[in-house]
């Protein structure tokens, strides 16, 4: 039995105070509420703030005539799991995470884009609560949705696009040279904190999900713009539009 099941009656959101009419089946999810503000104001037509409770800013508007939601999931697996579960309760069926990531290999630069074709994650933590600590559950995206996004991004100009595995960490400040060397040697491209949670929960709940990441750090070179993400503002908007195009066309 998974956490929250069998508690009697239909599960209801406790952190997203919105109605099912407020949430589109198609969602772009971001960690930073400021990124949600920027994307909603530049991508959506007639955006409405449908939730701000607990700092989870969620906007719904129109994109090319179709309803689209941009939601904040916060930092780390526990926060993200709450939001993904409650978005599903409210009718979300397609979720694409658009986040930042730290590259683990030298040739991937700040501003490059990584499309995750799978996510490794540590034993324990959020996934341990769902699955138990004695087994691993596949943290893999919807193949078709991921391919369509990767293909569309690859045709864009001005930045490089990679596809490969990422590592979803539970501890932002725990990375060290040994961590970087270990996962880079296993051909893992970058580290972030929420993809595995999204991909596993989406598989559990029957949603289709993908994860697209803009590189804000390179842990090999020791360079970062994470504290000043305005540097990447236009890149996030550009990539966000590509994701939105795929979501509204995807059937």
What percent of the chain lies above the pLDDT cut of 90? 78
Arithmetic mean of pLDDT, 218-239: 91
Cα–Cα distances (Å) from 228 to 32, 56, 158, in that order, read: 12, 21, 20
d(CA 109, CA 87): 33
What is the per-residue pLDDT for 134?
62
In a domain, 10, yes or no: no
Per the structure, the count of domains in the chain is 1
pLDDT (tens digit per residue) in 76-115? 999 999 999 999 999 999 999 999 999 999 999 999 999 9
Does the pLDDT at position 123 exceed 80?
no
Let me know: does 166 contact 116? Beta carbons within 8 Å.
Answer: yes
Per-residue burial over 224-239, b if 16 or more Cβ lie within 10 Å, else e, is eeeeebeebeebbebb
| Of 94, 97, 95, 91, residue with least CA distance to 74 | 97
In a domain, 4, yes or no: no
In a domain, 12, yes or no: no
* pLDDT band with cut points at 50, 70 and 90 for residue 136: confident
CATH code at 105?
Answer: 3.40.50.1580
In a domain, 80, yes or no: yes
The H-assigned helical ranges of 185-231 are 195-205
Range of the domain at 95: 20-249
In a domain, 5, yes or no: no
In a domain, 11, yes or no: no
Higher pLDDT, 132 or 92: 92
């Amino acid at each position: 039995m998974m956490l929250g099941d069998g508690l009697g009656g239909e599960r209801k959101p406790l952190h997203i105070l919105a109605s099912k009419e407020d949430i589109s089946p198609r969602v772009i999810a971001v960690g930073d509420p400021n990124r949600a503000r920027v994307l909603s104001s530049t991508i959506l037509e007639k955006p409405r703030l449908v939730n701000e409770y607990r700092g989870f800013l969620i906007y719904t508007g129109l994109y090319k005539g179709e309803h689209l939601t941009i939601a904040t999931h916060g930092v780390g697996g526990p926060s993200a799991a709450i939001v993904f579960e409650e978005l599903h309760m409210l009718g979300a069926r397609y979720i694409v995470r658009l986040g930042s990531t730290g590259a683990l290999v030298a040739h991937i630069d700040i501003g490059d884009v990584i499309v995750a074709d799978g996510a490794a994650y540590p034993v324990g933590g959020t996934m341990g609560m769902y699955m138990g600590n004695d087994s691993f559950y596949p943290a893999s995206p919807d193949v078709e949705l991921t391919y369509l996004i990767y293909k569309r991004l690859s045709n864009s100009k001005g930045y490089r696009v990679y596809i490969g595995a990422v590592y979803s960490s539970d501890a932002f400040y725990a990375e060290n040279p040994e961590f970087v060397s270990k996962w880079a040697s296993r051909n893992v491209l970058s580290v972030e904190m929420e993809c595995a949670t999204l991909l596993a929960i989406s598989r559990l709940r029957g949603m289709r999900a993908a994860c697209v990441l803009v590189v804000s750090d390179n842990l090999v070179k020791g360079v970062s713009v994470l504290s000043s993400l305005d540097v990447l503002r236009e890149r996030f908007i550009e990539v966000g539009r590509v994701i939105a195009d795929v979501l509204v066309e995807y059937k």
